[in-house]
Chains A and B, each alone.
Chain A
């Protein structure tokens, strides 16, 4: 009982940290989750993080909340899910409330703009580095590479909604499973079977 309480506190602190330093939407969380949850705490595997984001993106709601709830559940069931969600939400809630009370023109302050002009390019570095890291476990063959490049192309050039891309790629995976038992067993005995 006492050790579960300790774990829940640890989950809360970890997700509070992640919530405090995620700038720029759900995917900007991935570098932090990679570092804190996968590398430091070893609560989930790199493959599971990718699967979690696939589900988080396919469900309604904020990706950051969805993925925190999901990972929290994986670590410690329902309580873990609630604690992780509270942890990731609380920093935003506190900061925004303070801003709303005290600095109504926060975003026009030159110092804030200067700090943010430094953070933005670093976020690009963080997210692309995370993508490269994730690709090592997620792209296991040429089919995977083609799917990844195709998805970038469809989103950036044709503005396709990510949900359709995820559903399409799931359909491709299932089609291979049903149509080609040979490639399926090959994939499952290689990279597709990492967890």
Chain B
């Protein structure tokens, strides 16, 4: 019964991956291989597609694998499977969280955690910047001797514009994403 297999596999993936979507990729790969749901090259495609489409990488890849393995219903089952562990665990945790929110010990714990989350958000920006600002095919070897061959000027330009739009004009992030996509297309045509 393929639907049950998909459900169980993706519940396992949802339950045992710590650290978000990218941490799930090796687990997804293992499940796909052991069931023979996709070929290796199809799996590489999934990661590319999951990155280029909106939404959680976990959901994107679950939907895609499920669809390839067993059609639309397969996609639905796999997506449900990957979400169920989160839903159940977070429901249990949030009940306690809001109950103990105002305890001094709990407040002190979050006094320590909050700055670190700011750091983690910054690192997320750093990791996206690595793929956004540097030409992948050029490599990093001549970054000092000839920086323009490695750094993507267009990207820096769009990055600057997005900051100006956010800070100075307080443009909604959704509009920024739409405009920057259009700008990327225009710069390509020019």
Contact residue among A57, A81, A151, A192 (Cβ-Cβ distance under 8 Å from B111):
A192
A95 to B86, CA, bound (A): 22
Nearest B residue to A195, CB-CB: B101
Q: What residues on B are CB-neighbors of A165 within 8 Å? A: 116, 119-120
Q: Which of B15, B95, B155 contacts A121 (CB under 8 A)?
A: B155
A135 to B117 CA separation, bound complex (whole angstroms): 9
| Residue B128 at the chain A interface, CB threshold 8 Å | yes
How far apart are the CA atoms of A92 and B79 in the complex, in Å?
A: 10
Q: Using Cβ atoms and an 8 Å threshold, which residues of chain A touch B48? A: 107
Say yes or no: is A170 at the interface (Cβ < 8 Å to chain B).
yes
CB within 8 Å for A130 and B177 given contacts A61-B15, A118-B187: no
The DSSP consensus for interface residues of chain A is helix
Interface membership of B183, Cβ < 8 A? yes
B176 touches A122 (CB 8 A): yes
Chain B's nearest CB lies how many Å from the CB of A116? 5
Give the shortest distance, in Å, between A123 (CB) and chain B (any CB).
5
CA A137 to CA B118, docked complex, whole Å: 10
A21, chain B: closest CB distance, angstroms: 5
26 contacts between A and B (CB under 8 A): A23-B53, A23-B177, A51-B97, A53-B121, A61-B89, A63-B56, A66-B90, A85-B83, A85-B86, A89-B59, A95-B54, A99-B53, A116-B52, A120-B132, A121-B132, A122-B161, A125-B160, A129-B166, A131-B118, A131-B122, A144-B115, A150-B119, A165-B116, A165-B119, A169-B113, A174-B109
Given contacts A97-B63, A174-B108, 15 further A-B contacts (CB under 8 A): A27-B120, A54-B110, A62-B83, A73-B95, A93-B79, A95-B53, A96-B53, A118-B182, A122-B177, A124-B128, A124-B162, A134-B121, A139-B114, A147-B119, A176-B112
Which A residues are closer than 8 A to B by beta carbons? Answer: 17, 19-28, 30-32, 34-35, 47, 50-51, 53-66, 69-70, 73-74, 78, 81-82, 85, 88-89, 91-93, 95-97, 99-101, 106-107, 110-112, 114-131, 134-135, 137-140, 143-145, 147-152, 155-156, 161-163, 165-166, 168-174, 176-177, 184, 187-188, 191-193, 195
